[in-house]
Structure 1
């Protein structure tokens, strides 16, 4: 196996059904995981659900069920979404698993042994929705002067006994980390925000609660449960067997990337590394805080009536189309917007009309004019060599962008290659060559066959189902669909030697239609 690569998503809070924001993050993580596998890396991809806390207890009480019953029911909606969106995850970690209780209590004990936990009384502004305490200076004024958290959520004054973590002790170590490893927080705008926050001074952090009991019990303090961020963040270690020194822990930790929303960057880049430093554990290599996904430029909320079920979007437009649109349309790291019209317009123009049509035309002409038989070592002219060189260069540029988590930029390079192939078809006019120079027609079609093959492998991490259907038609072996296939110059000869003959092709990117209720 190749070099290990461990990627995680934020674990979703299942007090409601999944929304498009969950889908966006999980799709992006899946694209990263598939991209790394295509490069030959040995990938571990973990997602899951964050099932403890006051919000879950309140929601369960409201519904007349136990918190565990609510967790079991709602978590299945997230599993279903992950499967429906074709996520190639390896581990779905639930924080109610027995192994997670053990891991959380172990990291707590490690921090206690370091002398970094102490018992005191907490008084402060608390947001139930954010599961976070805020300083008075961080609050903003809402309507009628109501105090709100920096996220715009309601806060209430709370007083209770709490265990505290000596976060203030880690101000300098954290600033040293950010300086020594500028790549630790991405994109740069998030890094700058975090540095400013830490430079402003760190207060010790409340890490336990006594006002509810739905959580991981604090070792030696029977009336306390762990405050959500110690519990939740430890999930990244749970499946690796921590605290035991397992082969999995040795192989996969530290994580290569925690992929999260920008609203929880502080918890992952301040609290989490401080916890790990305290517990003498290695730090993750990178935390990437992506932006929000807006509906027609507006943040989604139930009151506005613009909350969209991602599974409905996937059923309406197709999973691959949704995946492609989100990775192509949104500059990763920034906020982005979507609408039904935008999905239809983008996917029809690029997937159906451009690449889909290129692939269908190429395969159809080979089937019709060459009897589906592939040919190799045909004489190439400058146009053929130039096209394959251009396609290869743009695919390399695409892969460099993907490696830096710039998916829209990478797909822009991919589309430039597709456009160049379509221009080549028009310039060479193989339908005319069929009558005037059949040998030249064959050279043109085989040049296009090679280009389509490479373009398909390049974009497979984004639209895996459609591309697999295309590569099946092209004779590509299912176990050889990695980027190495692009560099394998002998793959056409291998196909010919195997006796492969192209059958009547079928399109893999149908044109989308705007749903009737979206038509103005």
Structure 2
């Protein structure tokens, strides 16, 4: 039985359409999920939308609509994004779903039974945009919407003074337990930048957390407490277990919890690495294994902003340049865990240089020559040289290095290793020059083409988590069957079997066409 692997994205606020950050996180999580499936793991991949809270409530009020009506409309955009970007999730969890409300109320009851909830009055600063409370000491001064200096959250978002009756969670009781968690499980928070930031925050002391609101009613009702709805982050975080059937003793719950990886943006690390483990400790639920905080995707080095007019629709980029090249660019260009930048020019340059000109062109040259000069047939008996064996070793090493790096979530490093293998293939075919051997040494030409053909399979398999459609299209042309996981790399007899089966290549079709630059894609 294969080992289970559970990965989640943060669930998205549907108070607007998806932006590049949503696409980046979804694609990265999908690459991980596909990679783990190809590595033989029994993967469960969950994403969804976080539909409660003041932000959605105010947006609906401003539009003269009901919050649920707005949530339904906006959530449809996130569902469409997943379909368009080829995101292979197993569950799309909405926080408006009845099973989610039941799970959230159960974790609340367990925290209450543990003595960690009490009723008091909250007075303090709250950021609607962040759906977060901030201490006075955390606030910064900045320019507000009207140009005047005002208090802002550490994220630079507006804050407002809030005063209302509230349930509180005894977060202050969990500082020592959290610090012990970070000390004993150094990989619980990654990358190290985020881990250090959270450790410093908790070492600075924790105050009890307001976990209910009475000023609006758009949220999960607090059990046995009329007029209170849960603080949005209590129910939002609970999605990771409600989607598995909690609190029922479901097969999915038993199999997949604790979660292997919560993939989130670095701006919400505190909620996932402080509040969430504290809630789970209080409720007597096992903790997830890792929280990984990725960086931001910047538009030509700047954070996207509607006021600056540089907000890009990620689906417009995917439609213009292709889903697979867009996915490849994001995983190749940005060191995972750090901030990165994109532009139309960068997408086109990277995709053309590496996918079209290097790998795509190599595959097309090899398959075309076999189709034209060998009637598409494969040859098993041919004499191998040291050059042939060296290329096979270089490709095997590149693929192995990609797999090691992907296991460590170092996608750009893994694709760099893959590209070195592709460059080795191009250098080999240029040096061997089978188009010349065709006239001078036909047998050697066949040996060179067979050597090249055999490299296409591991290279396409390695790229498959990132560019699944293009990789499968190439593997189809290579005559590959259903076995398309990494275990197939260990099959030393596949080539002999394929050649002996009478397989013949059809006229090859390119899988990575060259891209043309478009301007101002999806901006508005």
Report the TM-score range of the alignment, normalised by the length of the smaller protein: over 0.9
- 1:496 matched to 2:499? The reply is yes
**How far does residue 484 in structure 1 lie from its aligned partner after superposition?**
1.4
1:29 corresponds to: 29
Q: Give the aligned partner of residue 85 of structure 2.
A: 85
Cα deviation digits, residues 197-237 of structure 1 (max 9, x gap): 00000001110000110000000101100001110000000
Aligned residue number for residue 154 of structure 1: 158
| Alpha-carbon offset, residue 516 of structure 1 | 5.1
1:217-268 superposed Cα distances (whole Å, 9 cap, x missing partner): 0001011000011100000001211111111111000000000000000100
CA positional deviation for 1:434 = 1.1
Deviation of the 1:470 alpha carbon:
0.8
> Paired residue for 1:293?
297
Structure 1 CA distance, aligned partners of 2:518 and 2:236?
39
CA distance in 1, matches of 2:134, 2:376: 67
Aligned to 1:310: 314
Residues 483-492 or 466-475, more deviating: 483-492
Hey, what's the Cα distance between the residues in 1 that align with 2:286 and 2:497?
A: 46
Q: In the alignment, does 2:433 pair up with 1:429?
A: yes
Partner of 2:250: 246
* Structure 2 residue runs without a partner (length 5+): none
Say whether residues 1:448 and 2:455 are aligned partners. Answer: no
CA-CA distance at 1:440 after TM superposition: 1.2
- For residues 376 and 408 of structure 1, what CA distance do their matches in structure 2 show? 36
Equivalent position of 2:508 in the other structure = 505
Distance across 1 between alignment mates of 2:250 and 2:167: 30
Residue 117 of structure 1 corresponds to 117
Match of residue 142 from structure 1: 142
Note if contact 2:344-2:519 (Cα within 8 Å) is conserved in structure 1.
no
**Residue 15 of structure 1: aligned partner:** 15
- Which runs of 4 or more aligned residues in structure 1 lie more than 3 Å from their structure 2 counterparts after TM superposition? none
Aligned residue among 353, 357, 363 for 1:359:
363
CA distance in structure 2 between the partners assigned to 1:428 and 1:217 by the alignment: 71
Residue in 2 that maps onto 1:235: 239
Find the residue that maps to 1:120 and give its secondary structure.
strand
1:320 shift after superposition: 0.4
CA distance in 2, matches of 1:224, 1:471: 56
Displacement of 1:14 after TM fit? 0.1
Q: 2:337 aligns with which of 285, 309, 333?
A: 333
Match of 2:464 in 1: 460
Alignment of 1:55-134 (within 5 A): 55-134=55-134
SS at match of 2:226: strand
Residue 170 of structure 1 is aligned with which of 174, 185, 188? 174
Counterpart in 1 of 2:195?
Answer: 191
Gaps of 5+ in 1: none
Q: Distance in 2 between matches of 1:198 and 1:323?
A: 36
| Whole-angstrom distance in 2 between the partners of 1:317 and 1:92 | 26
CA distance in 1, matches of 2:497, 2:105: 55
1:393 to 384, 390, 397: 397
SS at 2:11's partner residue?
A: coil
Cα offset for 1:498?
A: 2.8
Cα shift at 1:394: 1.3
Give SS of 2:5's match.
strand
CA shift for structure 1 position 145: 3.0
Question: Which of residues 375, 380, 388 in structure 2 aligns to 1:384?
Answer: 388
Q: CA deviation at 1:292?
A: 0.4
Structure 2 Cα separation of the partners of residues 491 and 278 of structure 1:
53
Q: What do you get for the CA RMSD once the two structures are aligned?
A: 0.9
Q: Give SS of 1:108's match.
A: helix
Deviations 1:442-486 (A, max 9, x none): 111111111111100001100011111111111111x21111122
**TM-score calculated relative to the size of structure 2:** 0.98
Report the equivalent of 2:276.
272
Q: What is the alpha-carbon distance in structure 2 between the residues aligned to residue 160 and residue 37 of structure 1?
A: 48
Whole-Å separation in 2 of the counterparts to 1:12 and 1:377: 56
- On the 8 A contact 2:325/2:467 being kept in 1, the answer is yes
TM-score, normalised relative to structure 1? 0.98
Q: Aligned residue pairs: how many?
A: 517
